[in-house]
A and B are shown apart, each in its own frame.
Chain A
Amino acid sequence: MSGRGYRTFRGGVHPPTHKELSSSKAVTQAPVPAEVVIPLNQHIGAPNVPLVSPGDRVDVGQKIGETEAFVSAPVHSSVAGTVRAVEDVRNFTGAIVRAVVITADAEQPAFAAARMKPVGELTADEIRRLAREGGLVGMGGAAFPTHVKLTPPRDKPVDTVLLNACECEPFLTCDHRLMLERPAHIVEGLKLLVRAVGAERGIIGIEANKMDAVDGLRAAVSSEPGLDVAVLDVKYPEGSEKQLISVVTGRKVPPGMLPGEVGCLVQNVGTSVALYEMASIGKPLYERVVTVTGPGLRSPGNFLAKIGTRISMLIEAAGGWAGEPARLIMGGPMTGWAQEEPVASVVKGTSGVLVLTPELVDARDEHACVRCGKCVEACPMFLMPNYIAEAAIREDWAKAEMYGALDCFECGCCSYTCPAYIPHVSYARKAKAQLAALKKR
Chain B
Amino acid sequence: MAAGRFTLAVSPHLHQKGQTIERGMTDVLIALTPAGIVAMIVFGMNAFYVMLVSVLTACLTEVVMRWVLGRKHTLRDLSAVLTGVLFAFLLPATTPLWVVAVGAFLAVGVAKELFGGLGRNIFNPALFARVALMVSPLWLYITKFPRPFFYRTVGFFTPVSVAINNEVAGRVVYRGLFGSVYPDVVTAATPLSLLKSGKMLATTISGPTPVGSTWVTVAGRPTFWAQFLGVHSGSLGEVSVLALAIGACWLLYRRTIDWRIPAGIFGAFLLVTLVTWNYPVFSLLGGGLWLGAFFMATDWVTSPMTRRGKWIYGVGIGLTIALIRLWSPLPEGVAIAILQWNVLTLLIDRYVAEPRFGEVGRSWLNRLPPYPKPGKAEPDKPVPAN
A complexed with B? yes
A residues near B (Cβ < 8 Å) are 13, 15-16, 90, 93-95, 170, 242, 246, 252-255, 257, 325-329, 331, 333-341, 354, 356, 360-364, 367-374, 376-377, 380-384, 386-387, 395-399, 401-404, 407, 410, 412-413, 415-421, 423, 425-426, 429-430, 433-434, 437-438
Q: Cβ of B357 and Cβ of A416 under 8 Å apart? A: no
Q: Hey, which chain A residues are within 8 Å of B378, CB to CB?
A: 395, 397, 434, 437-438
Q: Cβ of B384 and Cβ of A398 under 8 Å apart? A: no
Chain B contributes a number of interface residues (CB within 8 A of A) equal to: 61
Q: How far is the CA of A339 from the CA of B359 in the complex (A)?
A: 37
Q: How far is the CA of A327 from the CA of B7 in the complex (A)?
A: 6
Q: Hey, which chain B residues are within 8 Å of A327, CB to CB?
A: 6-7, 9, 13
Of A368, A398, A416, the contact of B118 (CB 8 Å cutoff): A368
Q: Hey, which chain B residues are within 8 Å of A369, CB to CB?
A: 119
Would you list which residues of chain B between 1 and 49 have a CB under 8 Å from chain A? 1, 3-17, 19-21, 23-24
Q: Cβ of B19 and Cβ of A383 under 8 Å apart? A: no
Across the A-B interface, how many residue pairs have beta carbons closer than 8 Å?
213
Q: How far is the CA of A433 from the CA of B381 in the complex (A)?
A: 8
Q: Cβ of B356 and Cβ of A255 under 8 Å apart? A: yes
In the complex, B258 has a CB within 8 A of chain A: yes
Instruction: Write the nearest CB–CB distance from A182 to chain B, whole angstroms.
Output: 29
Given contacts A356-B13, A368-B119, A437-B381, 8 further A-B contacts (CB under 8 A): A333-B13, A338-B9, A340-B3, A367-B21, A367-B77, A374-B19, A382-B355, A420-B21
Instruction: Write the nearest CB–CB distance from B369 to chain A, whole angstroms.
Output: 5
Q: Cβ of B16 and Cβ of A371 under 8 Å apart? A: no
Q: How far is the CA of A53 from the CA of B60 in the complex (A)?
A: 72
Instruction: Write the nearest CB–CB distance from B17 to chain A, whole angstroms.
Output: 8
Known contacts: A255-B357, A419-B23, A438-B378. The answer to whether A335 contacts B15 by CB under 8 A is no
Q: Cβ of B358 and Cβ of A361 under 8 Å apart? A: no
Q: Cβ of A371 and Cβ of B305 under 8 Å apart? A: yes
Known contacts: A327-B6, A419-B24. The answer to whether A338 contacts B386 by CB under 8 A is yes
Q: Cβ of A253 and Cβ of B14 under 8 Å apart? A: no
B contacts with A: majority SS: loop
A contacts with B: majority SS: loop
Q: How far is the CA of A8 from the CA of B281 in the complex (A)?
A: 39
Q: How far is the CA of A27 from the CA of B69 in the complex (A)?
A: 59
Instruction: Write the nearest CB–CB distance from A325 to chain B, whole angstroms.
Output: 7
Q: Hey, which chain A residues are within 8 Å of B373, CB to CB?
A: 396-398
Known contacts: A368-B117, A371-B301, A430-B383. The answer to whether A425 contacts B367 by CB under 8 A is no
Q: Hey, which chain B residues are within 8 Å of A170, CB to CB?
A: 14
Q: Cβ of B301 and Cβ of A370 under 8 Å apart? A: yes
Q: Cβ of B381 and Cβ of A370 under 8 Å apart? A: no
Closest to A329 in B: B13
9 of the cross-chain contacts (CB-CB < 8 Å) are A252-B358, A334-B12, A354-B13, A372-B300, A373-B310, A384-B306, A396-B375, A398-B372, A438-B374
Closest to B366 in A: A402
Known contacts: A367-B21, A438-B371. The answer to whether A255 contacts B13 by CB under 8 A is no
Q: Cβ of A242 and Cβ of B13 under 8 Å apart? A: no
Closest to B358 in A: A252
In the complex, B385 has a CB within 8 A of chain A: yes
Closest to A252 in B: B358
Q: Cβ of A340 and Cβ of B119 under 8 Å apart? A: no
Of A336, A338, A395, A418, the contact of B376 (CB 8 Å cutoff): A395
Q: Cβ of A381 and Cβ of B385 under 8 Å apart? A: no
Q: Cβ of A15 and Cβ of B16 under 8 Å apart? A: yes
Q: Cβ of A397 and Cβ of B355 under 8 Å apart? A: no
Known contacts: A371-B305, A398-B373, A407-B357. The answer to whether A362 contacts B300 by CB under 8 A is no
